[in-house]
Amino acid sequence: MAKVIAVEDIQDGMINAEPIVNRYGQTLLAAGVVLNQQHATFLKTWNIRTIKVSAGAEEEENPEVTEEMKQLILDKISKRTDWTPRIPIEENLFRVAIIHHAKRMSKKK
């Protein structure tokens, strides 16, 4: 699900959701571009104030990850890992892995 954000709030890694055109109809930035701070500066010089970006993994219109689904995925992962997350970055990785597999499962349905 795309959301509108201010150009100042662009963060590295966000993805531009819609082509941005200037007043002459020229495309400044195509959809799908992975954004960085240089893009933000560039857009400001064109007086573009807001931009539509694809939401990140956790905010996106995710398939509803039910408890049952989550357990199924965690069981599958734990068969392949003899470790559980020890630090915040590993917890984040597991959380995103669950969303990733849930998306795949709902695509297959």
Partner 1 sequence: MDVINKLIARADEFPTLPTIYATLSDVISNPRSTANDVANIIAEDQAAAAKVLKAANSPIYGFRGRITTISQAIIFIGFEEVRNLVIAMGIIDVFRKMKGNFPVNPVDLWKHSIAVGIITRLLGKSLRITNLENYFLAGILHDIGKLLFLKFIPDDYAKAIEYAIEKNLPAREAENSVLGINHLIAGELLAERWKLPQTLKDAIRYHSVGKVDNANNVLVSCVHIANTVASLFELGQAGDDIIPTPNLDAWKALNLQDDFWSKHYDSLILEYEAAIGVFLLN
Q: Interface with partner 1 by CB under 8 A: which residues?
A: 11-15, 30, 32-34, 54, 56-58, 60, 77, 79-83, 86-90, 92-97, 99-101
State how far the alpha carbon of 70 is from the alpha carbons of 8, 35, 62, 64, 98, in Å. Answer: 35, 31, 13, 10, 7
- Looking at beta carbons only, is 64 or 82 nearer to partner 1? 82
Buried b (16+ CB within 10 A) or exposed e, 56-82: eeeeeebeebeeebeeebbeeeeeeee
Give the nearest distance from C-beta 45 to partner 1 in angstroms. Answer: 18
Give the nearest distance from C-beta 81 to partner 1 in angstroms. Answer: 5
Give the nearest distance from C-beta 61 to partner 1 in angstroms. Answer: 12
